[in-house]
Structure 1
Amino acid sequence: MIWIIAALLLFILQIAFVIFFEYQRPSKAIVWLIVLHLIPVIGFLLYVFVAKEYMCFPALSQKESSQWNRIKADLIERCRQRVLNNTHEETVCHDDQLHALLSGFSAAPITACNETTVFSEGESAFEAMLSSIAASEHHIHVEFYIIRDDRLGTRFEQLLIRKAQEGLHVRLLFDGIGSRRLGKAYLKKLRNAGVEAGCFFPLLPSFMNKRLNYRNHRKIVVVDGKSGYFGGLNIGDEYLGKDPKFGYWRDTHFSIKGDAVIWLQDAFLTDWHRVTGEIITDPLYYPIQECRGKELVQVVKSGPDEPILELIFSLIVRAKKRIWIETPYFILEPGVLLALKTAALSGVDVRVIIPGVPDKNLVYTATLSYVQELLRAGVRFYSYQKGFIHAKVIISDDLAFSGSANMDIRSFCSQFEINALFYDGTVVDRLMQDFYRDRGDSKEILQSKFENQSGFQKLTSVFARLLSPLF
């Protein structure tokens, strides 16, 4: 009898613990309470080590903070002057409220004088990256969520080794979970050649420090501080379409030159400091950019301490003509779900392209539950048939938002991401053309798909939807 009472008290304490820490996020609290009921002790341990609120990195010293803030203030002022000198203020954004949000959202300002190239698949993007690295003269910064020790990974490895041996500063960052299969031999060859390599949240320390749920999902390459690459591609042969399960790999990646590169550099060097403790302040890493283009671009760095949920929500609610979305994962926070419903019911053209072949079955089942609900509101969905679609794009009227962030709760709130907001009609038109082409390679999902589901399928859908806030 005493053991039963003790177990009951322990269970009540576990429930109280979760409610105390999650009361501001009711949907997440409910999911964890369900998990506690299903697997009482194991569920609580999972919560403690996986779901605890993000703990920020240690604060900079006063001297370090002063250096960092001075550099950023100078860079922000440099970019602001370029915008004033090369554009008219009213051309930046036609929506005053959205402009105010975007101007204050990120430490990275709207930048001018940019020239962007859009890549719709891996081969051309990787060749461009490798060519830029080969031509580098001072430094190379590479950061990816996933790095594979395969043919493509070996090409990057050998080139980085060669450039390090030539005397360049070569720095590499990778995520501890995304690159968990990256062997020690791969890294040893890089380090022996002079490449500085760091792991963002290594697996075991992340588990012990309760940071396992917070991953660095960024994909960044910066060469000499003058050219940058970012988007959805990681380093691995599957991103070249060589995985037999998925075949053709459809992605969106960007090459950029201009003032926006400053803020890709800032994102990398911030992460470098988080991993190594080193603050890099040499002006050579922030060179004056050539004013080669006329595009306005705003780099948006986000993470658990800088969520992008408000920005995504604003892009949806301010749209008057269209909201077009491409995403491999579609798991929505309640506010975003309501915003999409309201937009569709208000006559906005809301369309979403998702994969036809899932890579994570439970996540895909949850995705389809959101699809079924939004179909009833008038949102149109398409399942991509040509291969696997990994592109992450939101087009809101005449603006486009794209980068590493998926349309899911993890990207909204828990992962370190790098995206950009594109104001230029040329880039937005190109992304719209890609959307049209992808829609042609897709099959529209109709409400009839869900009318003849079996009882088991419905039960699985309910279970996946309940767990979706944890995905």
Structure 2
Amino acid sequence: MPDVPSLVEALGWAPWAIIPLYLLGIGTAVDAVMKSRTPQGSVAWVFALATLPLVALPIYWILGRFKYDDYIDALHEFDARIASGIESALQTGVRDLLVQPSDLHDGEGLREKGEMRAFGEMATLPFTCGNDISLLIDGKATFDAIIPSIESAETYVMVQFYIIHDDEIGTRFQKALIEAAARGVEVRLLYDAIGSWKLPRRYLNELRQAGVHVARFAGPRSWLKKLRLNFRNHRKIVVCDGRTAFVGGLNVGDEYLGRDEKIGPWRDTHLQVKGPTVQGLQLSFARDWFYATREGLAHLEWTPQAASGDDQTALVLASGPADELETCGLLYTHAIESAEKRVWIATPYFVPDGRVLGALQLAALRGVDVRVMMPRTSDSLWFKWVPYAYLPEVERAGVKVFLHEPGFMHQKVALVDDDFAAIGTANFDNRSFRLNFEATMVMHDTAFCEETAEMLEHDFSNATPITREDLEGRSFLFRFAASATRLFAPVL
């Protein structure tokens, strides 16, 4: 490696020009020490910023930050200006629907009560009863439920997706929003600028011209904050009239209905939600919308009502990089650690951090049926080797790993014992646990868990178990790529 004077000479820079660069690198290293998530991360950033600031500085400002500071500021403003009215309405309506750990039967035990207490402390809206939540399996069932709900909305529709494409289903979706606005329904669309980067301006302009309120998830437009490509709003939420909502793994695109010939069949899971948890999803949208537009939505329907169908207990966890605690990762870690019979996980991307990986290993070692299902075919080159990256460690402890086929499996589902099912937008990876804005529904209902188990059992029947021998039989380059994948785990 050339020394600093040689590098300065080679670049043709005067010493007075390079000194501020190194001072900026050292100053940024202080920021890394104060804000990095782990000691290992701090050491790596300090070394890189102090020795190679020209390379490390732009990477740090794009990938190194882990708190969305201006979103936190927006939440403080939201709380000061709007939240009190919303909370008053929520508390009035939800008081008789809240489920406290003390409400559980004696036979359900301290473990279950402890779980409910912990989950409730992290949740956007704690456990409530009176919910009617239905599984929507795959794209056709999902959009055949979402589109009619938009078409029948009477007062307002709020829609939030990470990815929206201008294709067949995207056109059908756009048409439903335009027709809703035409009949006087208040329609809002929030999209992520990174996930929907292919969406043409024409598509959005047509919505705006029809009276749809459109915003992208982006705060202040300063040049520095535009570099924060590592934070994405990965939520997929639809709320109609404050009484029906949808959340899950599907975005708006033809590939989500299995129409992409390269990917093939697309396996995914979404939820249709009725009952008080709708207000939890609506509150998540309202916060994101306020961040994007500074428009409060206190006039919406904020009084929860019990659904007329099933009486299910559920909560909403809207997690993200503005949280004081890493709530998404904590939720899964605690659920796994408390499992007694089974932990079944279906995820397109399995990149666990150390605490989650350890929880899975310990669960398997104490005899819990731990299964992880991933797709054999990935929609991303980065994740081609992911199923094999952690295979030796988890299999050694007794975790069973399965590859789903044919096509691509994109669902985000976790089932713990017969007690808890978690379904939403969060993948089982570092990005969803720490960097993305996500929305997860947690259902505490035996009948719903049985239905989820049946769904996953069918998926396991279309999956092939893999072992360390499968990895060891691969070429050296494949095994090296699988091991190297773990180096990029913090940003995958």
- Tell me the TM-score normalized by structure 2: 0.88
1:41 to 54, 66, 75: 54
CA shift at 1:273, angstroms? Answer: 0.8
Distance in structure 1 (CA, Å) of the matches to 2:105 and 2:120:
13
- 3-state DSSP of counterpart to 1:421: strand
Matches within 5 A, 1:217-232: 217-232=234-249
Instruction: Indicate conservation of the 8 Å contact 2:264/2:408, yes or no.
Output: yes
Distance in structure 1 (CA, Å) of the matches to 2:284 and 2:353:
26
1:309 to 297, 316, 329: 329
Matches within 5 A, 1:267-306: 267-284=284-301, 286=303, 288-306=305-323
Instruction: Indicate conservation of the 8 Å contact 1:163/1:170, yes or no.
Output: yes
Distance in structure 1 (CA, Å) of the matches to 2:90 and 2:383:
41
Question: 2:477 maps to which residue?
Answer: 456
Q: Quick check: 1:10 aligned with 2:31? A: no
Distance in structure 2 (CA, Å) of the matches to 1:411 and 1:64:
25
Distance in structure 2 (CA, Å) of the matches to 1:373 and 1:63:
44
Q: Quick check: 1:172 aligned with 2:189? A: yes
Question: 1:437 maps to which residue?
Answer: 458
Name which of structure 1's ranges 9-18 and 245-254 shifts more when overlaid on structure 2: 9-18
Instruction: Indicate conservation of the 8 Å contact 1:106/1:301, yes or no.
Output: yes
Distance in structure 1 (CA, Å) of the matches to 2:342 and 2:80:
42
Distance in structure 2 (CA, Å) of the matches to 1:237 and 1:429:
30
- 3-state DSSP of counterpart to 2:350: coil
- 3-state DSSP of counterpart to 1:162: helix
* Distance of aligned partners of 1:255 and 1:93 in 2 relative to their CA distance in 1, 3 Å threshold: farther
Matches within 5 A, 1:7-406: 10=22, 13=26, 16-17=29-30, 19-21=32-34, 23-29=36-42, 41-54=54-67, 55-57=69-71, 58-59=73-74, 65=80, 67-83=82-98, 88-90=103-105, 94=109, 95-201=112-218, 208-284=225-301, 286=303, 288-306=305-323, 307=326, 308-397=328-417, 398-406=419-427
Which residue identity lines up with residue 5 of structure 2 in the other structure? W
What is the count of residue pairs matched by the alignment?
Answer: 470
Which residue identity lines up with residue 421 of structure 2 in the other structure? A
- 3-state DSSP of counterpart to 1:82: coil
CA shift at 1:35, angstroms? Answer: 7.3
What CA deviation, in whole Å up to 9, does each residue of 1:6-36 have, x standing for no partner? 7799398389457524554134446657977
Distance in structure 2 (CA, Å) of the matches to 1:468 and 1:235:
27
* Distance of aligned partners of 1:34 and 1:436 in 2 relative to their CA distance in 1, 3 Å threshold: farther
Distance in structure 1 (CA, Å) of the matches to 2:379 and 2:6:
43
Which residue identity lines up with residue 96 of structure 2 in the other structure? Q
Distance in structure 2 (CA, Å) of the matches to 1:60 and 1:165:
32
* Distance of aligned partners of 1:442 and 1:277 in 2 relative to their CA distance in 1, 3 Å threshold: same
Name which of structure 1's ranges 402-411 and 18-27 shifts more when overlaid on structure 2: 18-27
- 3-state DSSP of counterpart to 1:274: helix
Distance in structure 2 (CA, Å) of the matches to 1:153 and 1:91:
50
Instruction: Indicate conservation of the 8 Å contact 2:29/2:49, yes or no.
Output: no
What CA deviation, in whole Å up to 9, does each residue of 1:284-306 have, x standing for no partner? 45464544321111111111122
Note the residue ranges of structure 1 that are not aligned, 5 or more in a row.
none
CA shift at 1:160, angstroms? Answer: 0.8
* Distance of aligned partners of 1:405 and 1:34 in 2 relative to their CA distance in 1, 3 Å threshold: farther
What CA deviation, in whole Å up to 9, does each residue of 1:174-217 have, x standing for no partner? 00100011111001110001000000028976863443211100
CA shift at 1:330, angstroms? Answer: 0.4
Instruction: Indicate conservation of the 8 Å contact 1:18/1:33, yes or no.
Output: no
Distance in structure 2 (CA, Å) of the matches to 1:242 and 1:161:
24
Instruction: Indicate conservation of the 8 Å contact 2:339/2:368, yes or no.
Output: yes
CA shift at 1:167, angstroms? Answer: 1.0
RMSD: 2.9
- 3-state DSSP of counterpart to 1:185: helix
Question: 1:407 maps to which residue?
Answer: 428
Distance in structure 1 (CA, Å) of the matches to 2:78 and 2:357:
44
Name which of structure 1's ranges 164-173 and 90-99 shifts more when overlaid on structure 2: 90-99
- 3-state DSSP of counterpart to 2:455: helix
* Distance of aligned partners of 1:441 and 1:27 in 2 relative to their CA distance in 1, 3 Å threshold: farther
CA shift at 1:373, angstroms? Answer: 1.6
Which residue identity lines up with residue 209 of structure 2 in the other structure? N
Instruction: Indicate conservation of the 8 Å contact 2:160/2:190, yes or no.
Output: yes
Distance in structure 2 (CA, Å) of the matches to 1:18 and 1:148:
38
Instruction: Indicate conservation of the 8 Å contact 1:113/1:258, yes or no.
Output: yes
* Distance of aligned partners of 1:422 and 1:27 in 2 relative to their CA distance in 1, 3 Å threshold: farther
Which residue identity lines up with residue 78 of structure 1 in the other structure? G
Note the residue ranges of structure 2 that are not aligned, 5 or more in a row.
8-14
Name which of structure 1's ranges 279-288 and 408-417 shifts more when overlaid on structure 2: 279-288
- 3-state DSSP of counterpart to 1:300: strand
Distance in structure 1 (CA, Å) of the matches to 2:106 and 2:178:
44
Distance in structure 2 (CA, Å) of the matches to 1:377 and 1:18:
38
- 3-state DSSP of counterpart to 2:158: strand
Name which of structure 1's ranges 361-370 and 252-261 shifts more when overlaid on structure 2: 361-370
CA shift at 1:105, angstroms? Answer: 1.2
* Distance of aligned partners of 1:30 and 1:349 in 2 relative to their CA distance in 1, 3 Å threshold: farther
Distance in structure 1 (CA, Å) of the matches to 2:223 and 2:96:
41
Distance in structure 2 (CA, Å) of the matches to 1:147 and 1:275:
17
CA shift at 1:124, angstroms? Answer: 1.2
Which residue identity lines up with residue 192 of structure 1 in the other structure? Q
* Distance of aligned partners of 1:114 and 1:452 in 2 relative to their CA distance in 1, 3 Å threshold: same
Name which of structure 1's ranges 247-256 and 367-376 shifts more when overlaid on structure 2: 367-376
CA shift at 1:245, angstroms? Answer: 1.6
Instruction: Indicate conservation of the 8 Å contact 1:140/1:168, yes or no.
Output: yes
CA shift at 1:454, angstroms? Answer: 3.1
Instruction: Indicate conservation of the 8 Å contact 2:132/2:312, yes or no.
Output: yes
Instruction: Indicate conservation of the 8 Å contact 1:28/1:469, yes or no.
Output: no
Distance in structure 2 (CA, Å) of the matches to 1:268 and 1:62:
16
CA shift at 1:394, angstroms? Answer: 0.8
* Distance of aligned partners of 1:147 and 1:207 in 2 relative to their CA distance in 1, 3 Å threshold: farther
